[in-house]
Amino acid sequence: MKKQFVFKDIGKILKKSRVLFNEPMSKHTSFRIGGPADVFIIAEDINELRRIFSAAKRSGLPLYIAGSGTNILVGDKGIRGVVVKAGKALDQVKIRGSTVEVGASISVSGLLSALAGRGLSGLEFMAGIPGTLGGALIGNAGSPRMAIGKTVRSVDFMDYSGRTRRIPAGRLVFSYRDSSLKKMKGIVTGAVLGGLKKASPYAVKKSISAAWAKRKKIHPMDKPSAGCIFKNPNGCSAGLLIDLAGLKGEKAGGAVVSKKHANFILNRGKASAADVMSLIEKMQKRVYEHFGVKLELEVQLLGEF
Ligand SMILES: Cc1cc2nc3c(=O)[nH]c(=O)nc-3n(C[C@H](O)[C@H](O)[C@H](O)COP(=O)(O)OP(=O)(O)OC[C@H]3O[C@@H](n4cnc5c(N)ncnc54)[C@H](O)[C@@H]3O)c2cc1C
């Protein structure tokens, strides 16, 4: 097949990045669900990233970007195309005064530890959100009151033609669990975040622990999930609507609506994407019947279902 030729060749040329074929996406999602991606690449160098994009163009296969897979549901039939994930090489943190320049693949928890170590406060509200900085920027992750977009000064971006640029915050739009970056064809390679305040490392660590404890109390963390399935409609809690519609504990195959937080679907062990989709449809239908509210997905669907 065309894809095999182009990517087998490029696999030999790339020195740092890893190219995998028919890679089960269940290994790369917090849901532990998802069929195989034709090609899965962990990119470890900016120049290699450029070569990967160019190879994808030559092969004609569509490109998809993944972070830690904590906000995606991948279909059981997998992904016909090339999934690219930014590897460790893009996880550097440079702190200058109250701004921090950071690579897209750093985990949110890794970033918070670096900031705490330097006594910089302002991002503690992100504690307990899994995933990478790149994924957090795309979905403007955060708490009900605060989101990462507010701290962005600029975003480093490489489009699928390999062109890199630094986009100032003024040219980006961040809204509730959404950003203008989501529609752009390319990969976020890093960002400059600002507005952080000096504090003692002890105080920052304490406030991280407090935010963590708060999330742990609300979120079910004992079973695989992808976080909140739906966005909160017009400031109303999607979880509360699902609960009032009587769906807490509802099951489909290996998937179940969490009893702790009704906006979470949990994988009880062997859930398929089809099981999750059947619960999603039931939740949307029941909430619409009860309250006339259309629930919109927060989780991103990827691949063939
Ligand atoms: C237990 C649990 C609790 C959660 N709690 C919260 C919470 O409190 N608040 C909240 O906002 N979210 C929460 N989430 C959701 C999730 O953690 C966030 O959305 C997270 O920011 C996603 O990051 P990721 O790296 O896993 O992205 P992924 O899930 O891998 O990707 C998400 C989207 O971003 C794109 N993407 C990822 N990286 C890049 C990149 N470098 N360049 C371009 N596109 C990219 C992907 O294509 C995809 O469209 C929770 C999830 C779980 C499992």
Q: Which atom of ligand 1 is nearest to the CA of 188?
A: 42
Residue type present at position 173: V
**Which pLDDT belongs to residue 12?**
76
Alpha helices in the chain (DSSP H): 2-13, 46-59, 108-117, 133-138, 201-218, 238-244, 273-291
Q: Are residues 187 and 154 in the same domain?
A: yes
| CATH code of residue 31 | 3.30.43.10
Residue nearest atom 3 of ligand 1, based on CA coordinates: 227
- Coil, helix or strand for 187? strand
**Which pLDDT belongs to residue 11?**
72
Q: Are residues 141 and 190 in the same domain?
A: yes
**Which pLDDT belongs to residue 13?**
79
> For ligand 1, is residue 109 a contact (CB within 6 Å)?
no
**Which pLDDT belongs to residue 1?**
53
Q: Which domain holds residue 241?
A: 233-302
Question: Does 55 reside within a domain?
Answer: yes
The pLDDT confidence band at residue 185, using thresholds 50, 70 and 90, is very high
Q: Are residues 270 and 183 in the same domain?
A: no
Q: Could you read off the pLDDT of 110-160 as tens digits, one per residue?
A: 999 999 999 999 999 999 999 999 999 999 999 988 999 999 999 999 999
User: Where a domain ends, among 55, 88, 121?
Assistant: 88
User: Where a domain ends, among 59, 88, 117?
Assistant: 88
Radius of gyration of the chain from its Cα atoms, rounded to whole angstroms: 20
| CATH code of residue 179 | 3.30.465.10
> Is 298 annotated in the active site?
yes
Question: Does 223 reside within a domain?
Answer: no
Alpha-carbon distance of 144 to 48, in angstroms, equals: 38
Question: Does 227 reside within a domain?
Answer: no
Q: Are residues 192 and 100 in the same domain?
A: yes
Overall number of domains in the chain: 3
**Which pLDDT belongs to residue 2?**
56
pLDDT at 235 over 80: no
Q: Could you read off the pLDDT of 20-42 as tens digits, one per residue?
A: 999 999 999 999 999 999 999 99
pLDDT at 243 over 90: yes
Q: Which H/E stretch holds residue 278? A: helix 273-291
> Is 177 annotated in the active site?
yes
Alpha-carbon distance of 163 to 234, in angstroms, equals: 38
Question: Does 228 reside within a domain?
Answer: no
Question: Does 107 reside within a domain?
Answer: yes
Q: Are residues 48 and 97 in the same domain?
A: no
**Which pLDDT belongs to residue 294?**
97
Q: Could you read off the pLDDT of 49-105 as tens digits, one per residue?
A: 999 999 889 888 899 999 999 999 999 999 999 999 999 888 999 999 999 999 999
**Which pLDDT belongs to residue 115?**
97
Q: Are residues 101 and 179 in the same domain?
A: yes
> Is 96 annotated in the active site?
no
Q: Are residues 17 and 83 in the same domain?
A: yes
Q: Are residues 64 and 167 in the same domain?
A: no
- pLDDT more than 90, % of the chain: 90
Which residues, other chains included, contact 280 with Cβ-Cβ below 8 Å and sequence gap of 6+? 229, 265, 297
- pLDDT more than 70, % of the chain: 98
Q: Which H/E stretch holds residue 286? A: helix 273-291
Question: Does 161 reside within a domain?
Answer: yes
**Which pLDDT belongs to residue 180?**
98
pLDDT at 10 over 90: no
Question: Does 226 reside within a domain?
Answer: no
Q: Are residues 108 and 73 in the same domain?
A: no
Mean pLDDT value of segment 207-231: 96
Mean pLDDT value of segment 188-202: 96
Q: What is the pTM of this model?
A: 0.96
Pocket test for ligand 1, best of 31, 46, 71 (most atoms within 8 A of CB): 71
